[in-house]
Amino acid sequence: MGFFDDAKEKVKDLLDGNEDKVEDGIEKAGDLVDDKTGGKYEDKVDMAQDKAQDAVDSLTDDKPAPPA
Confidence of residue 37 (pLDDT cuts 50, 70, 90): very high
pLDDT number for residue 39: 94
The domain tally of the chain equals 1
pTM recorded for the entire structure: 0.72
The answer for residues whose C-beta is within 8 angstroms of residue 53's C-beta and 6 or more apart is 23, 26, 64
Is 28 within the bounds of a domain?
yes
More confident residue, 1 or 28: 28
Residues 6+ apart with CB under 8 A from 22: 15, 56
Q: Could you tell me which residue, 34 or 59, shows the higher pLDDT?
A: 34
Residue 11 domain boundaries = 3-60
67 part of a folded domain: no
